[in-house]
Amino acid sequence: MDLTERIDRRRTRNSKHELVVDPDSLNPVVHPAEPVGRETLFEALLDAIDPLFEQAVPPDVYVWGPSGSGKSAIVTALMSALETKMQSQRPFYAATRGQTKGDGVEFAYLDARQATSRFQLYRELLDELLVDAVPERGMSTDALERKIQSIQSTGTTVVVAVDHLGESRTADVAEIHQFFEPFENLAWLGVGRTPPEDVSLPIPEQHVHVPAYGNELVDTLTVRGSQGLSHTLDHRHAQRLAEWADGDAHDALAALFIAANVAEGADATRLRDEDVEAGIEAVPRDGVPIGQVLALSENEHHILERLLALDRDEERPIEKTAQLIGEQTDLTPGTVKRQLYELAQFGVLSRQEVTVGPPGNGRRPSGVTPNFSATLFTLLRE
């Protein structure tokens, strides 16, 4: 960090009123312990796993709904609530026994974006269940499966939530079904966007539909905004964001997060209209969720950073882009090109035909542009 940067930071930190007091509250990838205004959905989820409260293994459940409808928020909240509840009721001696954290019921939350293969899903699950570290390599997937089975043979019931199913890189419902089939005392709760009728069989009989936010989004924004900022979020601003985002909490929070940063950068003491508009400006309405971008590998992040650094106004065929990026990384242009194509298929980048040079024979090249908020990506990468 150079000197001016230090001074800059010091200056913003010491400005009379710090505007952002809790960044996490404004962060679209962070979910609060208690989601606002979704009590009925919480009930529906509890209903779905009701047998659990009579010591039985509940059926598998599929939770689905559009992007930004709060699926992740409600499921993470449910799992952590269940965990604390069940733990407080667990007999004291259980905690000290054996290699598992205890017997009875165990809860785990897995993010399919972090665990994309059967191996990784099993590994993450074991990591949640066991106190000991679980190896990341050198152990076969089948060995992990046997390990999970041996835990179950002690009579432990496992409820595992798997978030973000059916994205282009993550496992889908059918795969999750297959992966967790071998385990007798395990119920899974899959979360995805695909409507049940479009999901390839087999699919759980229990569905819980999470519809897009309606008016509740204004409340959610108000609560989270007011927690994150040093002042109450202006009602007009909450309304403006909710309306623009059309019920998508991810987009609304993304814009709010950026707005707060813009305002803070300008040494404002309150969020101003122009900040909110700047936030809205910086978030594409139909982009990929930023969490999906953040979950990419380190190399892919490098590629994206270089891509964002290139002059945005210039049209450039993908080949040329790959070459420019390749020069700045230790990846070959060929690999960069393939990765760019993959990212485009993934939805992280969007492709459009590019008109460059004389109209030759073959197929026209295309260029790539980010399909997410570059500002948000940069802010959250730090």
Name the minimum Å distance from CB 89 to DNA: 35
Please choose, out of 3-11, 56-64, 151-159, 329-337, the segment that lies near DNA by the rule CB under 7 A.
329-337
89 contacts DNA (rule: CB under 7 A): no
To DNA, the closest distance from the beta carbon of 289 in angstroms equals 20
4 counts as binding DNA under rule CB under 7 A: no
176 vs 146: CA distance, rounded Å = 17
Nearer to DNA, 244 or 341 (CB): 341
SS (H, E, C) 223-277: HHHHHHECCCCCHHHHHHHHHHHCCCHHHHHHHHHHHHHHHHHCCCCCCCHHHHH
Write out the H or E segment, with its range, that includes residue 367: strand 366-370
Report in angstroms how near the CB of residue 143 gets to DNA at its nearest: 7
Q: Which two tokens stand for residue 40?
A: 């009925």
130 lies in the site for DNA, by CB under 7 A: no
CA atoms in the 13 A half-sphere facing the CB of 65: 21
Interaction between residue 332 and DNA (CB under 7 A): yes
Tell which positions 282-311 bind DNA, by CB under 7 A.
297-299
Question: Residue with structure tokens 């043979």?
Answer: 153
Interface residue with DNA, options 8, 136, 246, 286 (CB under 7 A): 136
Quote helix, strand, coil % in the chain, to nearest 5.
50, 10, 40
Nearer to DNA, 60 or 124 (CB): 124
Structure tokens belonging to residue 164? 């973000």
Asked if 358 is part of the footprint of DNA (rule: CB under 7 A), the reply reads: no
**Residue 368 C-beta: closest distance to DNA, Å:** 9
**Residue among 91, 266, 334, 381 that touches DNA (CB under 7 A):** 334
Q: Which of 120, 212, 220, 324 binds DNA (CB under 7 A)?
A: 120
Instruction: Please report whether residue 131 would count as binding DNA according to CB under 7 A.
Output: no
Q: How far apart are CA 269 and CA 273, in angstroms?
A: 13
85-93, 131-139, 182-190, 230-238 -> range binding DNA (CB under 7 A): 131-139
CA gap 177, 162 in Å, rounded: 11
CB of 124: closest distance to DNA in angstroms? 10
- Is 182 a residue that touches DNA (CB under 7 A)? no
Binding residues among 25-54 for DNA as defined by CB under 7 A: none
Tokens found for residue 217: 């989004």
- Which tokens sit at 147? 């390990």
Task: Verify binding: residue 366, DNA, rule CB under 7 A.
Answer: yes
Taking a C-beta distance cutoff of 8 angstroms, is the pair 97, 119 a contact?
Answer: no
CB of 120 to DNA, least distance (A): 5
CB of 100 to DNA, least distance (A): 19
Q: How far is the CB of 378 from DNA (least distance, A)?
A: 21
Query: What is the four-CA torsion angle of 200, 72, 75, 380, rounded to 10 degrees?
Result: 140
Size of the site for DNA (CB under 7 A): 36
Distance CA 219, CA 211 (A): 16
Alpha-carbon distances, residue 183 vs 60, 149, 360 (angstroms) = 12, 6, 58
Assigned token pair, 104: 């009875």
**Residues making contact with DNA (CB under 7 A):** 116-117, 119-120, 135-141, 297-299, 317-319, 330-332, 334-335, 337-338, 341, 344-345, 351, 359-366
